């Protein structure tokens, strides 16, 4: 590995410059105004693979293109599928950014830009490690297949049919994804569980137009009142979700897992300080890590109604709406939840209000087994890349395709995150530590060697 490590050292600056090129492309998948930028990012990623002389395809879908690249099979060594996404979340609110979201800027050893960690920077580590092998050794020690999509941030709707239709092409022994976090600065981790998600929009309609709240208030159902009453009935004072059957398929945390979580050096006071909050609240009977990683929950993601302007306006609004989602744990079925939720909301909806529930997307939660030679290989590689043995943890975010890989390809995923919880993903001033970027590349380069020693 000596000449590979040396190559990585010598090319640090170029890797950073290339990452900045990708970060300059505003590939926001949620916003159709950025359609051309999304296509440009896909093309840029495909060009990277072309530069490495890998077999590359830029595959159009009903949505954004998929980039697929592969190296030749290696007899006796496993095939590894690397998944990542080149799309990013919208950058708003723009006024909160210290430097513009699509003008990558380095401050204090971090690169600031939308997509820096999620997922352009993390995904890119696997491309550079691969390039290092090809430029020094001349060939890879195992077969790599890359599946880089452009719709992860909007629910990956077109990816599942693609995987279903291309099972042979995607066949592999294990999947590698870097789109998660370390436990904390200087403490890398292997993530063995992610929560699932079920995302909705509720639209309520009352009178045909806004009314005077003095003339009509008290006599006519107010959609804004109805909205807050309906939403607050979905979770009780003890932090328990109130949709019938919600907990039916939730496995209790095992004593062993609770003990393992409790051993992690989580500092609650520091956690609160970093978030700027003076207290925490969640499901009764569980610790903060348990609540965030391994318990299902309900959060409102956005809500609107009535007068938002300066001063006071006495209005009874005609409409109200909200976006909200549930984070799910393995075995909870988003479809089953949708049916129970719709029934519950219809019962809660007062007379004089018409409701519509839109089901955006859903994906189940996952856990991956830790007793596997792939996990040992990853642990070795990360120890070499970061100079520290990784801990095992779960995380609260969702990567819908992990369950799909298990279901359709019959393979587990290694979730090897180089990010940090305070990287501001999905919020203003997203960043990625450049030191971790390079440690990630080194870990990845070593991972190819450790995985190649596992007999396929
Ligand atoms: N990189 C995240 C997933 C993630 C976040 C994993 C935090 C672990 C910790 C990913 O890009 C993401 O944000 N996914 C969405 C999925 C949704 C849009 C279906 C999420 O979790 O909200
Ligand atoms: Zn991501």
pLDDT at 42: 98
Question: pLDDT band for position 328 (50/70/90)?
Answer: very high
pLDDT at 437: 98
Q: What CATH architecture applies to the domain 2-194+365-452?
A: 3-Layer(aba) Sandwich (3.40)
pLDDT at 178: 98
> pLDDT tens digits, residue range 52-80?
999 999 999 999 999 999 999 999 999 99
Question: pLDDT band for position 37 (50/70/90)?
Answer: very high
Parallel, antiparallel, or unpaired for β 174-177 and 413-417? parallel
Centroid of ligand 1 to alpha carbon of 398 (angstroms)? 4
pLDDT at 455: 87
Assign domain 197-250+296-363 one CATH number from 3.10.180.10, 1.10.260.40, 3.30.70.360, 3.40.50.10190. 3.30.70.360
d(CA 3, CA 396): 38
Determine the length of the chain: 456
> pLDDT tens digits, residue range 398-450?
999 999 999 999 999 999 999 999 999 999 999 999 999 999 999 999 999 99
pLDDT at 456: 72
Nearest CA to ligand 1 atom 5: 397
Atom of ligand 1 nearest to the CA of 197: 19
Q: Which of the ligands is closest to the CA of residue 397?
A: 1
Give me the percent of the chain exceeding a pLDDT of 70: 100
Q: How far is CA 177 from CA 148, 267, 288, 372, in A?
A: 10, 27, 25, 16
Centroid of ligand 1 to alpha carbon of 396 (angstroms)? 8
Atom of ligand 1 nearest to the CA of 396: 9
* Ligand 1 proximity of 395 Cβ (cutoff 6 Å): yes
pLDDT at 292: 98
Nearest CA to ligand 1 atom 9: 397
pLDDT at 1: 86
Segments making up each domain of the chain, as ranges? 2-194+365-452, 197-250+296-363
Q: Which of 150, 179, 432 to mutate to test the pocket of ligand 1 (most atoms within 8 A of CB)?
A: 179
DSSP 409: I
> pLDDT tens digits, residue range 153-172?
998 999 999 999 999 999 99
Q: Is 339 left (phi over 0), alpha (psi -120 to 50) or beta?
A: alpha
Segment 320-327 shows an average pLDDT of 98
Write down the pTM of the prediction: 0.94
* Ligand 1 proximity of 149 Cβ (cutoff 6 Å): no
> pLDDT tens digits, residue range 172-202?
999 999 999 999 999 999 999 999 999 999 9
| Same fold flag, 2-194+365-452 and 197-250+296-363 | no
């Amino acid at each position: 590995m000596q000449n590979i490590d040396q190559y990585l050292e010598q090319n640090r600056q170029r890797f950073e410059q290339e990452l900045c090129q990708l970060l300059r492309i505003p590939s926001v998948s949620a916003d159709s105004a950025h359609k051309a930028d999304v296509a440009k990012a896909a093309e840029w990623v495909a060009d990277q693979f072309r530069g490495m002389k890998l077999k590359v395809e830029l595959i159009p879908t009903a949505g954004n293109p998929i980039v697929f690249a592969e190296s030749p099979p290696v007899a006796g060594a496993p095939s590894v599928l690397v998944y990542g996404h080149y799309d990013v979340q919208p950058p708003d609110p723009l006024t909160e950014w210290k430097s513009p979201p699509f003008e990558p800027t380095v401050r204090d050893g971090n690169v600031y830009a939308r997509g820096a960690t999620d997922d352009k920077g993390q995904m890119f580590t696997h491309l550079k490690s691969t390039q290092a092998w090809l430029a020094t050794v001349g060939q890879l020690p195992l077969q790599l297949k890359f599946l880089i999509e452009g719709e992860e941030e909007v629910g990956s709707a077109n990816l599942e049919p693609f995987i279903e239709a291309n099972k042979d092409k995607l066949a592999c022994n294990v999947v590698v994804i870097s789109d998660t976090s370390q436990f904390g600065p200087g403490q890398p981790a292997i993530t063995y569980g992610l929560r699932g998600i079920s995302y909705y929009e509720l639209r309520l309609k009352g009178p045909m137009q806004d009314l005077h709240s003095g003339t009509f208030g008290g006599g006519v159902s107010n959609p804004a009142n109805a909205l807050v009453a309906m939403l607050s009935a979905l979770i009780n004072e003890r932090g328990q979700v109130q949709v019938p059957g919600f907990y039916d398929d939730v496995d209790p945390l095992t004593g062993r897992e609770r003990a393992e979580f409790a051993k992690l050096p989580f500092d609650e006071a520091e956690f609160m300080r970093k978030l700027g909050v003076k207290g925490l609240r969640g499901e009764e009977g569980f610790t903060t890590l348990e609540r965030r990683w391994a318990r299902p929950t309900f959060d409102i993601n956005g809500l609107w109604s009535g007068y938002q302007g300066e001063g006071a306006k006495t209005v009874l609004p005609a409409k109200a709406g909200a976006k909200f989602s549930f984070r799910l744990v393995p075995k909870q079925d988003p479809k089953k939840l949708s049916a129970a939720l719709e029934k519950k909301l219809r019962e809660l909806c007062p007379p004089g209000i018409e409701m519509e529930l839109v089901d955006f997307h859903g994906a189940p939660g996952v856990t991956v087994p830790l007793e596997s030679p792939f996990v040992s290989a990853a642990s070795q590689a990360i120890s070499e890349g970061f100079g520290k043995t990784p801990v095992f943890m779960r995380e609260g975010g969702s990567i819908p395709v992990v369950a799909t890989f298990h279901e359709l390809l019959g393979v587990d995923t290694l979730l090897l995150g180089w990010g940090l919880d305070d990287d501001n993903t999905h919020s203003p001033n997203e960043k990625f530590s450049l030191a971790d970027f390079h440690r990630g590349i080194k870990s990845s380069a070593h991972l190819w060697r450790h995985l190649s020693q596992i007999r396929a």
